[in-house]
Every structure is written in C-alpha cells, then in structure tokens.
Structure 1
Amino acid sequence: MGGKMVPFAGYDMPVQYALGVRKEHIHCREHAGLFDVSHMGQLRLHGADAAAALESLVPVDIQDLPAGKQRYALFTNEQGGLMDDLMVTNFGDHLFLVVNAACKEQDIAHLEANLPASVELERLDDRALLALQGPEAAVVLSKLNPVVADMVFMDAVKVELNGVECLVSRSGYTGEDGYEISVPSEHADALARALLSDDAVEWIGLGARDSLRLECGLCLYGNDIDTTTTPVEASLLWAISKNRRLDGERAGGFPGADIILPQIVNKDVNRKRIGLLGQSKAPVREGSELFDADDNKIGVVTSGTFGPTKGMPVAMAYVNAEVAVIGTEVFAEVRGKKLPMTVEKMPFVPQRYYRG
C-alpha cells in the first residue's frame, strides 16, 4: 500500500503512507484510521487456574475479570519495575493476551517460568492484528457485522467479519473510539481491503500512531515506562486494582509488591512522569534534558513531538517529584537553546472512548 518502511522491534514497519504523518493523524481524529499492528504478541492461556496464575504476576485483578471484558495490566519485576504493559481479555474458555513486540520473547519466557503445569500457554503466531480507530470506526466496522456497534469500551467478542471469525475488542492506542481485531493471518489482507473500501478509512503508520497516543497521554513501553520505573513513578496508579493494594482483599501477591505498595501509601517517590506543553513551535524530542529557572537539571523527556490536534509541542518526561506540579515552568535543552515548557495535566487531547 505504499508505506515507507523502517525497522521497529525486529520488524519492517510502515512509519507513514501516502498522506504523510500529519494528515494521517488528523484523519484518524476526524474519520477512521487503519493500523497494521501484527508485530504485537498474541497469546492464549488455557486452564482453570489461568486467572489466578496470571494474577500472581500482575498488580491487576484478573480473577474477577468478567467474560467478554478486557483489562490493562502490567508485568512487574521484584524491584517494582515494569517488564511490560499488556492487554488481558477473558473470552470465557481462555485468557487472551496482547503484549508488546519488543518484549514478546521475554514475556513468554516469564510466563513459562512462572505458570503452573495446569496452565497451558499458546502462542498465536498465525494471527494478524488490525486496529481501526477514530470517530467513524464503529459505523465502518458495523457494516461488516452490526454486533460491534453495541460494544462499549473494553468489551471483547468473538465475531464474524468478512466471513471469518475474529477476536474483536473495543479499545485502542489513539485515545479515540475504535477496535482492535485479531484475525487469522491468511485472511488479514482481505479484511484490511474490505475496511479500506470505505471512504472514511485511511492507512495510518507508526509516526501518527506515536503522535496520537502521546496527545492522549498513553505510555510507550521502552520510552515512558521500563524495568527501572515503578507504576507509582509512572503515574499509573489507576492501573493497580484496588483489591491488590494494602487494604484490598487480595493485597499484594505480585512481584515487587513490597516496593510498590509502600510507595502508594507513603506517596514516596523521587521522580514522577508528567506531561509537558511547549510554548514555541519547536518539538522537544526524547532524551532532551530539563532544567529549572536556576539552570538546575531536574529531569529528562521520554517522548516528545509536535501534536497536530493540540497545535503545539507535547511531551512526557520524568522530573524530580517536587517539580511535578501542574503549571510549573521548566526549560528543555534543544540544540543548545533552553525552550520553555509547562507541566500540564494529561491527556492533552480528550480521550473519546465509547462507554455507552
């Protein structure tokens, strides 16, 4: 389809198509964008003990996850750091996991080392993953099967699309309403072309995927979260289920709980992930160092670009905890110049997930 290909996580990936990054970004916000995200890892866990076993590896409630629902989860290590973030879906007879491409082999090894013999791990290397995102996504996909129109955010179903059974969740990585569609690889091309036949749909590449997720305050693993950051430092407290916290009925019981749970109670971390808006037109990229008004180094940018919808530079960064206050002015060093930026609440652009 004319994508400009670049290496990413061991794959050749389209960074952009004919429209170009900015127009692709805007098209997804206004209409519907189609993303090929088949590089992501797709796994199944089988067995009656699967939910309890997975719950022992994440600070998230899996045993009470209803059938037909999806949840965001985090693999933590013994130091409280983040090994990966993932999506977990209960399809009733199995758990379906989507993990990051760069972490796929590590995650599989981690699961194999920690799951009991009663739980079977199945790799789904024969499935592609398509994401249809944007305000017109529901109208487009419901033409292939009207069932999807009744889904709400984080619902998941097995449903026939274009004559093939697919696993569909109403979720995504753009902040917009939309769907992620797991489809057998041999049928992915035909399904993609069926979706693209609608005038509302355009291919979207990695470049716009990055600016879309950044405007909506969503982390990129390896940039904004990694094995050296805890969920509390990463401002991901919402991703830790309440019944896994110290006063919860199933408190702890996951790697690094002895480090993470006291951080929640004591609000005791040295650094925090924050959002930044630039006051000039120049984008501030990953790795840019941050300074206060007295020229003291206070942090570093982990993701940054120009936000086409926001109309100004947007970034995420880690800064000293005392600086992580909305409205604080900081200065990013870019090519020897100190560019002013302001600590702002995320998301920078409102998330528009469909909740019914």
Structure 2
Amino acid sequence: MNLMKNTCRAAAAALTVPVLLFTAACGSDDGKSSAGEPVAKVDGKPGAQPKITVPKGAKPADKAVTKTLTEGKGATVKKGDLVRLDWSAQSMKGQNLGSSWMRQPGAKPGGPRAQIVSEVTDQAQQQQLPPKVLAAVAGQKVGSRFEVEGTAKELVGPRLNPQLGIKPQDGLVWVIDVVGAKKLDKKAKAEGKQAAPESGMPEVTAADEKAAKITVPKGEQPPKDLKQQVLIKGKGPEVKAGDGLIAQYTGVKWEDGKKFDSSWDHGGATAFQIGAGQVVQGWDKALVGKHVGDRVEIVIPPKLAYAGNPQSGLDKNTLVFSVDIVGTV
C-alpha cells in the first residue's frame, strides 16, 4: 500500500519512470558542472518558476550534464538525505513535461504547491524525477538551483513513453530548486509517556523497530468522521502545510484489525509532503498543526481515505494509523 495519492504529473505521464530502471547516478559531488556545459538558458531565481529557453537546432550531449545555476547558502546535501524540491522540466523542442509550480487538480487556492519529498538516491522511488536527476541533488547546497540535461535515452532509458512523441535521442531539461534537506534517521520514533486511549479509540502498543500493535475496540462501529488523539506530546516545531513530514507509521483496517502497511516494513522512517494534497485527506487534516515528537493516532473514514479508488483495495475501509512525527524537511 502506498500512502501517496496518484500525483503523477505531466513528466511522469510522459516518461513513465519505472522502478529500478536506472542504475548510474549523474552529477558531481561538488555541485559543479559535469560532462560539459548545458545548452539551455534558464532565467529566474530559486523559488520562482524558471523560464527554460533552448537555442534553435541545439543538440543534447550524449551523457548527462549537471550545472549549478545559483549556489545556495545552506548545508550540502548528501546521498541518503531527505530533500524537498521544486522542479520544472521540458524537452529541448519545447514540450512541457511538468512543474511543481503547476496547480494540481483540487488544490486549495493559495495553498502550498505540490513539491517532491524524497530520499536522495540513484534508485527510482517516485515518478516526477528520473533517478539520474534525483541523484544529482547530492553535492548541491540547500537554496541552490541546478540544471540537468541529457537525451531521453540517457536520462529515462528504455521505458520512455512513445505516445508523447519524444524519441530516445531527443534532449530533456530539468531545473531543480533544493528547498530543504535533512539527514534521515530511519530508526527515529516518538519518545515519552504515552496517554491512554480516549473512549472508543483503538489501543496503540509501540514496539522497538517493529510495526506498532493497534487493537480496535471489539463490537465498536467505525466512526463516520475523522477522529484523532495525540498519544505522546512532542516539543519540536509545529508541522506546517507544505512541509515534508518525516514519519514512522503503522496502519490497520478497523473492520478486521489487520495491518496493511508500516514504515518499518520498508526500512523505517519515510517522508511525505503534508497539507498539499499529496497524501490521503485524513493525514492532511490531522497532522498539519501537530509537532515534531508527537505520536498521533488517527481514525480515517473512507471518504477521507481511499473511497472511490477500488484499486487501493481499501476503498471501503476505515483506516487506523499510529504516526510518530520524527522531523520535517
């Protein structure tokens, strides 16, 4: 099960980035340009949507080219860090491949834009960035803007979607802003005395480096509305809409009490953008405004979870989560 909603934008639809497709990282660890100079011109400062202009007849290099356009003043990103990124992409023929500045369907007016929150790796984990582009974040500083160019064959590989009319030899351009970064502690969890469950709420029993045990009250009907309780009160910063939320979580179905997912099943703490329509509505509603260090129990009715999405296998279920908020990025 994946907490992330189907947030594939134009780039994902165009490129069909597959899991474990790419094997080699690109970009130098010092954040300087690699494999020559890019041909595209990029106007605009970090934080604003870039304007990408490619000279007529320009050809991409055979190998990926990475260049820092604006160097930030923050910490240097390392492989394995969690990052929050803005991005914009197009083909060298001018075809738009998507952008975090594009307003997503159903997004709240004036709300945070949907950004990428991901671990820096050379393996495919999300669908907006090819792994070679994501790997190039390593070596950049927080606040930086950089560019990655290359052929579709070099950056995307054999799973390029031919229906978009992009050929393997066509050039692609990504512009990335490094908004934030944080070292990832996959074993992190909420610490402190846990409160007893309120009346009608399931009981949560945490375990060391294992999925929490969540016991649903016998004979109780699931609530029709969102319910939540802070079980451990943290002392960290408040979680704001648009933050990358770093969490340790376990989820079970109210109807049978069976676990359907846990971050511990995937190696430990993971991150999602919160309050921007990137996760189920119940998470957005319950976790914005909480604090780093909190352990929060959430009971989410289908209408705020996966109702209308039968492919999830959870469209008729009320979901119960125990969520440890262990950081933000």
Interval containing the TM-score (normalised by the shorter chain)? under 0.3
TM-score of the pair, normalised by structure 1: 0.25
**Structure (1 or 2) with the greater helix fraction:** 1
TM-score of the pair, normalised by structure 2: 0.27
